[in-house]
Amino acid sequence: MSDQLGGQAREHPVPPPTEPATALHLAVVLLVAASGAVETISFIALDHVFAGVMTSNLALLGMAIGRGQSTGVTAAVLALTGFALGAAVTARLTRRREDMVTRWAPPVVFCLAGEAVLLALGAGIWAAMGGAPQRTARDALQFGAAAAMGIQSAAMVAAGRAASPTTYLTGTLATYIVKGAGAGRRDRWVPAQLAALMVGAGASMAVLRAAPRWTGVLPVVLVVCAILAAGTPVIRMRRSSPGR
């Protein structure tokens, strides 16, 4: 009987998952909310540039050059440089990762942990200065915020099929509309991501107005929660593995 069942199992293997688990989708939503929170801090409380949307920063850089506004040029260059550095370092660290759909590879999670540490450092500096950093500190925080978003963006690229963009959702929205209209199917997680971006930005704005000293804490909490959610499939896999 056991041989017969074993033969049937070999003849009809369980197909591999074709999409990420719910926990990974939730982790992506949390990271989107974190990016919305960081963008609020970057644009409203720092120097009116974005930490993760480099297309807009290139346009802002061009406008600042056209107006002859040195402050705007500096802010845009800092954001672009920080983002590029964060993405480049992450690409280097995740170069040999496996492309899996069921979980995020350890190098991806490691880089996200580094992002959380960088954001926590920025939150500490922000709190120590009472939520009103001076020029030099603002420049450093702008660079750090952009570097954190570069890390997050590159980590999601490295995660491959198990993730999706979290810092720039224009392409996500366009794909959602085109596939929905042309193929009759929609990704149910896209509305959650779009909503998370607004909720993260709105919550960050509310904290910035009510308790500016602690504005930087929210993105840290969201990224940590995303990492914990992403670890759920690994924990379940280990618990269900033979011999446990």
Amino acid at 180: G
87: nearest Cα among 114, 125, 47, 59: 114
Q: Is residue 227 domain-resident?
A: yes
When pLDDT is cut at 50, 70 and 90, the band that residue 9 belongs to is very low
Three-class SS of 132-149: CCCHHHHHHHHHHHHHHH
Q: Is residue 57 domain-resident?
A: yes
Give tens-digit pLDDT for 173-225.
Answer: 888 888 775 555 567 899 999 999 999 999 999 999 999 999 999 999 999 99
Q: Is residue 210 domain-resident?
A: yes
Q: Is residue 193 domain-resident?
A: yes
- Is residue 1 predicted with pLDDT exceeding 90? no
Q: Is residue 6 domain-resident?
A: no
The rounded distance, in Å, linking the Cα atoms of 144 and 219 is 13
CATH value at residue 33: 1.20.1250
> Residue 98, by phi and psi: left (phi above 0), alpha (psi -120 to 50) or beta?
beta
Give tens-digit pLDDT for 25-76.
Answer: 999 999 999 999 999 999 999 989 999 999 999 999 999 999 888 878 999 9
Higher pLDDT, 117 or 232: 117
The rounded distance, in Å, linking the Cα atoms of 21 and 18 is 9
- Is residue 240 predicted with pLDDT exceeding 90? no
Where in the sequence is the domain holding 213, given as residue range(s)?
22-233
Query: What total number of domains does the chain contain?
Result: 1
The rounded distance, in Å, linking the Cα atoms of 141 and 29 is 24
| Length reported for the chain | 244
Q: Is residue 244 domain-resident?
A: no
Query: Using an 8 Å Cβ cutoff, are 51 and 37 in contact?
Result: no
Q: Is residue 137 domain-resident?
A: yes
Q: Is residue 69 domain-resident?
A: yes
Average pLDDT over residues 75-88: 97
